[in-house]
Structure 1
Amino acid sequence: MRRLGAVLAGLLLAAVLVPALTGPARAGDPRWVFYTHDTTRYSSPWFAGAHRIMVPFGCTRAPYYSPDPRCAHGHGFHQGIDVAMRCGTPLYAGLRLRVVSNATLGPAYGDNPVLLRSRRHHLDLVVGHTRRVYVQEGEVVPRGTLFARANDRGAPDGCHLHLERRALGGDLSTAVSPRTLMHLTPAGPA
């Protein structure tokens, strides 16, 4: 009789946990809007899992950016790549970098952005919308190191990673596409 009770309790627990774990995990953040026709999920050394791009680098119809003369139809220009991912997704250093002061970054990157620098590669990397940062200014971050987790701070469109590549010591006007640096590898359709 005890064994039957234990089996029933296990089945009841499974009936409660399985939908709770599989339903929301597959649904994603209800605030996500994808401003691209690309439905591919990508993996990268910069983050755990495989995720879709929400807003690619360049001209976009996403409403968060002011009209830019480089773009048609009054569209704005996005200086990075936004990758949709659940809050708490681990973010890893894709190459050896040093943490530098984020004082020059505005509120659009959230309240805890990370600014990373590589003199060897002549670049700065802005990582926006982080929940927890495990590194400090001045610290060298070896490749593969967990340095932060994704969040939705400062992001009206849900949890995602914003990655922006700039010239070494450069400002927003020096941003170029980070796609090659991210080593995005197709992992299949969404």
Structure 2
Amino acid sequence: MRPGRALILLLVVPLLVGVLAPAARAGDPRWVFYSHDATRYTSPWFAGAHRIMVPFGCTRAPYYSPDPRCAHERGFHHGIDVAMRCGTPLFARFGGRVVSHASLGPAYGDNPVLIRNRARGYDLVIGHTRRVFAHPGDRIHRGQRIALASDNGAPDGCHLHFERRALHGDLATAVRPRRLLDLTPKERRS
């Protein structure tokens, strides 16, 4: 390659990347969406409108071992991951008691929140939180700020992981949490 062309490429490529890449304020550069849904959703659980990164069920996301329920050697995701900036507030959608998260393991980050609601008959695991304001033994109430979103334990950027389990249940009891999240479409981006 001639030196003149190399100089042009050196100047033009960064310019094109700057023009074609999404703005830094658009979100975390580590976000990878394993959902074709480009809708931004609001929820009583979090501030703002955000996209689903990884939906519940069979996924091509590389973080999960192949699962016999899924075709093409895909893994199974037991919750819904919602992409949002680090520090986004998380609120309680319903009341319950915060219980110890010791049984959850490192995949949920250092500070997951586990909310038990006996009246509703299930537990809710919220992973990748930081600055948790509700601790094991605390009774939480609807609308109470309970934590902030983070990338703790998440290789793919800031987001929250929501997982609905049977009361005192483990990963095998997880069911689709979408209705629980009360997701409302806000805007769709192409």
Q: Which residue of 1 aligns with 2:44?
A: 45
Residue identity in the other structure for 2:113: V
Q: How does 1:91-170 map to 2 (within 5 A)?
A: 91-170=90-169
Inter-partner Cα distance in structure 1 for 2:116 and 2:166: 9
Aligned to 2:24: 24
Letter in 2 for 1:186: P
Match of 1:74, SS state, is coil
SS in 2 for 1:72: coil
How far has the Cα of 1:29 moved from its partner?
A: 0.4
Following superposition, the deviation at residue 56 of structure 1 comes to 0.2
For 1:179, the equivalent position in structure 2 comes to 178
Runs of 4+ in 1 over 4 A off after TM superposition: none
Cα separation, 1, equivalents of 2:152 and 2:180: 24
Per-residue CA distance 1:28-74 (angstroms, 9 max, x = gap): 00000000110000000000000000000000000000000000000
Could you say what the CA RMSD is over the residues aligned between the two structures, in angstroms?
0.7
Letter in 2 for 1:189: R
Q: Distance in 1 between matches of 2:27 and 2:176?
A: 26
What is the aligned partner in structure 2 of residue 88 from structure 1?
A: 87
How far is the alpha carbon of 1:24 from its aligned partner?
3.1
User: Which one-letter code corresponds to 1:114 in the other structure?
Assistant: V
C-alpha distance in structure 2 between counterparts of 1:63 and 1:119, whole Å: 34
Give 3-state SS (helix, strand or coil) of 2:72's partner: helix
Distance, in Å, in 1 between the alignment partners of 2:66 and 2:30 is 23
Residue in 1 aligned with 2:67? Answer: 68
Give, in whole Å, the separation in 1 of the partners of 2:142 and 2:48: 17
Q: In the alignment, which residue of structure 2 is the partner of 1:16?
A: none
Letter paired with 2:142: R
Tell me the percent identity: 71
Query: 2:54 matched to which residue of 1?
Result: 55
Q: Between Structure 1 and Structure 2, how many residues are aligned?
A: 167
Mark the runs of 5 or more structure 1 residues left unpaired by the alignment: 1-22
Query: How far has the Cα of 1:131 moved from its partner?
Result: 1.3
